[in-house]
Amino acid sequence: MIRRLFTAGAIVALLGGGAAVTFGASAGAATAHGATAHGATAHRATTCTNDSGEYSWVTVGGVNYYLGTANNAVSGSAAILKSAKTGSSLWVHCNSTVTLNQLLLVNRGLALTSRDTSAGGTVTLEPAGNGGNGFASQQWIYAGSNPYTFQNVKTGLYLRVRNGGPLMYQTVTTGKTATSWNQS
Residue-wise pLDDT tens digits, 7-48 = 333 333 333 333 332 223 333 333 232 332 333 333 334 567
Q: In what order do the strands lie in the sheet with 63-68?
A: 80-82, 63-68, 56-60, 182-183
pLDDT above 90 for 61: yes
pLDDT confidence of residue 37 = 31
pLDDT confidence of residue 47 = 65
**Residue 168 to residue 170: CA distance in whole angstroms:** 5
Regarding predicted confidence, which is higher, 135 or 3? 135
Give the length of the chain.
184
pLDDT confidence of residue 98 = 87
Give the confidence band of 108 by pLDDT, cuts at 50, 70, 90.
Answer: very high
Q: Which of 17, 21, 19 is CA-nearest to residue 8?
A: 21
**53 and 40 in a common domain:** no
**68 and 7 in a common domain:** no
| H or E element at residue 182 | strand 182-183
CB 140 within 8 A of CB 112: yes
Secondary structure E strands in 27-179: 48-50, 56-60, 63-68, 80-82, 92-96, 102-107, 110-113, 124-126, 140-144, 148-152, 158-160, 173-175
**112 and 74 in a common domain:** yes
**Residue 46 to residue 87: CA distance in whole angstroms:** 26
pLDDT above 90 for 122: yes
Regarding predicted confidence, which is higher, 58 or 99? 58
**166 and 119 in a common domain:** yes
Whole-model pTM?
0.74
**104 and 32 in a common domain:** no
**70 and 132 in a common domain:** yes
pLDDT above 70 for 125: yes
**152 and 104 in a common domain:** yes
**158 and 69 in a common domain:** yes
Domain that holds residue 109: 48-183
pLDDT confidence of residue 7 = 30
Coil, strand or helix at 2: helix
Q: Structurally, how many domains does the chain consist of? A: 2
pLDDT confidence of residue 49 = 74
Average pLDDT, integer, range 115-133: 95
**18 and 66 in a common domain:** no
Q: Residues 6 or more apart from 161 whose CB is under 8 A from it?
A: 58, 65, 81, 170, 172, 173, 179
Half-sphere exposure of 16 (CA within 13 A, CB side): 4
pLDDT confidence of residue 119 = 97
Residue-wise pLDDT tens digits, 127-174 = 999 988 899 999 999 999 999 999 999 999 999 999 999 999 999 999
Average pLDDT, integer, range 48-68: 91
- What are the φ/ψ torsions at residue 82 (nearest 5 degrees)? -120, 165
pLDDT confidence of residue 32 = 31
